[in-house]
Amino acid sequence: MAYDQVRCNCCTPKPPQHLSQVFGFPGHPKSLPMEIGLSFITNKGPSVPQIIKLLDWEDDTDHCDMVLERHMYILHELE
């Protein structure tokens, strides 16, 4: 996915292994990290400007990479 026209932040949550929670998401073949599953749920339905969108993600063995939309209030402060 290209992010040329989108302002975004990257996040890499690394919970300790014993605290790592997974989420069974309908339509996905395997369990997802809790952060990814909850992002799918919150971004479902009509768009709300106060909810940051998950643009892309990748699950690795010890962490997951998340590409998130930069919040409109942060954009306002940076300009």
pTM over 0.85: no
Q: Which domains does the chain have, with CATH numbers?
A: 8-78 (3.30.200.20)
Segment 31-73, tens digit of pLDDT: 777 778 888 888 887 877 777 888 888 877 777 788 887 766 6
**HSE-up of residue 66 (Cα within 13 Å, Cβ side):** 21
The secondary structure of 8-69 as a DSSP string is EEEE-----GGG--EE--TT-SS-EEHHHHHHHHHTSSS--TTSPPEEEEEE-SS-EEEEEE
Q: What is the pLDDT of residue 10?
A: 64
pLDDT value at 25 more than 50: yes
